[in-house]
Amino acid sequence: MVLEEYAARTANPRRMHILPDQPRRAVGVIRVSKVGKRALKGEERFVSPREQQAKLSEWCQAQGIQLVTVREELDVSGKRPLEKRPGLLPAIEDVERGAADMVIVAYFDRLVRSLRVQADILDRVEKAGGQVVALDAGRISNATAAQWLNATVLGMMADYHVRVTREKTDVAKRDAVDRGVPPFPNIPPGYVRGTDGRLVVVEEHRDLIARVFKMRAGGASLTQCRLFLSANGIERSYRATQTMFANRLYLGEIHFSDMVNLQAHEPLVDRELFVKAGERVEKRGRPAKSDRLLARLGVLVCRSCGARLTAATVWNHTKGHSNRRRYAIYRCGMPGDCPSPVTISATLVEQAVEDAVRRQLEADRGTGTASLEQELRDAAALVELTQKRLKNAILLLSGDDLDNIEAAQEQLSQHRARAREATELYERLQASTDSLTVLSATHDWDKLTMNEKRALIRAVLPRVEIAPACEVGSRIHWPAS
């Protein structure tokens, strides 16, 4: 048996790791810390997700494992806590609900760059009876002392890399702040970056910014300030308009972490006016986390002012009443400046949203699957055709009576490119078909996890407007977006 296993290993070097009690279903995770401008330079300059996908598919095929799905995380740091990992968290939940047996990544540092987050991942996956595998490092586990040591060393090195990088970049950021260059991308209206990176005043906006600050200091609401800016060509969201009046860049200052430069550039607002306008900015702490279905989704919007609704609880009767109890609501997040702030029962609106999403999914399920399967068949036919043409081109190039060999080589190169593009298209559609099959099999809403429900709601109903109770007709509006 030992000789047979050794022979199998040496005969097939692609089997990078042979796992004990090997699971049969895997969910892959692809992570890229920062896409930036690489995505604008074409596929050839942005190969990391494609490379990771290819490695995961190749490994699963060599191991005889079914790759159930692959979840992408673009512009996601490995230091993020698990609840803020849009691909890794659903992958772990797949294991917990029995839809997969293992979580796989192409490289260990694509999984995590934090020892604390790593501990959370392994704890949840191994409690559910699953495994975590990095193709370059093997199985990651805390099951035994030796496995814990190996996993901890790998995690420590990944965490160390992040800390060293942060220390190096902090030096550059501190130097930028000292020179008056903001080390962050978002610049408020009224300024542009000069050739040296420092902020320069936009002359046509100088009086406009001063006037909107005077409006706010004189008692104008955020909605009025926003409309004034919009009428003068500056489009700002409700929240972005609010943050303008607390942005100290308008005083000529840069504040970034513990780095401060009080004379970075020319100010647009004097300090007295800035303080008066800022006094009307509602200072609120971070709202407590809520386990309500629509909390923190940003789907519910106040129809009066456009602000997002937040989850809260209130008493249903006056103090001292025998049946006094608390119940959940959603309410306008900017009540101080909203002309008619809305409040609605959490139970009522959640049920309405659930019903709307389920109706939409049920309507789209059949037609969406049928059309996608037809596209898949067409793509398969295209692959067969391009492969046949490629073979003919190869046969033509190998013939003895070829007059123009350069033209034949060029034609062969074109056929190869078309065959490759057709194959990639087929693989993408195949992955989409697999996802639709999983969705169809789990369309029963009650079987979905909370995060799966939220993902479906965000995809189907990205915006739901709630009208004030004083308006006639339905309070819940479903914009066509």
Least confident of 73-77, 203-207, 284-288, 457-461: 284-288
**Alpha-carbon distances, residue 349 vs 291, 303, 356, 361, 476 (angstroms):** 15, 14, 11, 18, 8
The residue among 219, 248, 278 that closes a domain is 278
Is residue 157 located within the same domain as residue 231? Answer: no
Sheet strands (E) in 324-377: 326-332, 343-345
Is residue 274 located within the same domain as residue 314? Answer: no
Q: What is the mean pLDDT of residues 173-187?
A: 91
In a domain, 175, yes or no: no
Q: What is the mean pLDDT of residues 310-318?
A: 76
Helix (H) or strand (E) holding 277: helix 271-278
CA distance 187 to 167: 25
Helices then strands, counting H and E runs in the chain, come out as: 13, 15
The CATH number for 153's domain is 3.40.50.1390
In a domain, 335, yes or no: yes
How does pLDDT run across 410-420, given as a tens digit for each residue?
776 777 777 77
Is residue 227 located within the same domain as residue 153? Answer: no
The residue among 166, 199, 222 that closes a domain is 166
Q: What is the mean pLDDT of residues 434-463?
A: 66
Residue 421: how many CA atoms within 13 Å on its side-chain side? 8
Asked if residues 343 and 362 have their Cβ atoms less than 8 Å apart, the reply is: no
Residue 283 has pLDDT above 70, yes or no: no
Question: Of 240, 354, 217, 380, which Cα lies nearest the Cα of 292?
Answer: 354
In a domain, 246, yes or no: yes
In a domain, 287, yes or no: no
Q: At what angle do helices 115-127 and 88-96 cross, to 10 degrees?
A: 20
| pLDDT range class, residue 250, cuts 50, 70, 90 | very high
In a domain, 322, yes or no: yes
Is residue 366 located within the same domain as residue 445? Answer: yes
In a domain, 260, yes or no: yes
In a domain, 76, yes or no: yes
| pLDDT range class, residue 5, cuts 50, 70, 90 | low
Residue 430 has pLDDT above 60, yes or no: yes
How is 302-334 classified by DSSP, letter by letter?
A: ETTT-PBEEEEEEESS-TT-TT--EEEEEEES-
Is residue 251 located within the same domain as residue 311? Answer: no
What does the block give as tokens for 191? Answer: 């300024």
Asked if residues 202 and 191 have their Cβ atoms less than 8 Å apart, the reply is: yes
Domain range enclosing 89: 2-166
Is residue 338 located within the same domain as residue 392? Answer: yes
Residue 40 has pLDDT above 50, yes or no: no
Question: Of 310, 303, 300, which Cα lies nearest the Cα of 338?
Answer: 303
The confidence score (pLDDT) of residue 288 equals: 58
Looking at the 3D structure of the chain, how many domains does it have?
Answer: 3
pTM, rounded to two decimals: 0.50
In a domain, 177, yes or no: no
Is residue 269 located within the same domain as residue 156? Answer: no
- In the sheet that holds 25-32, the strands lie side by side as 66-74, 25-32, 102-105, 131-134, 138-140
Phi, psi of 10 (to 5 degrees): -75, -30
The residue among 278, 301, 330 that closes a domain is 278
CA distance 308 to 326: 22
Is residue 422 located within the same domain as residue 329? Answer: yes
Is residue 226 located within the same domain as residue 301? Answer: no
Which distant-in-sequence residues (6+ apart) come within 8 Å of 102 by Cβ? 23, 25, 26, 27, 65, 95, 125, 130, 131, 132, 133
The confidence score (pLDDT) of residue 216 equals: 92
Helix (H) or strand (E) holding 412: helix 405-441
Q: What is the mean pLDDT of residues 32-60?
A: 70
The CATH number for 229's domain is 3.90.1750.20
The confidence score (pLDDT) of residue 198 equals: 94
The confidence score (pLDDT) of residue 19 equals: 44
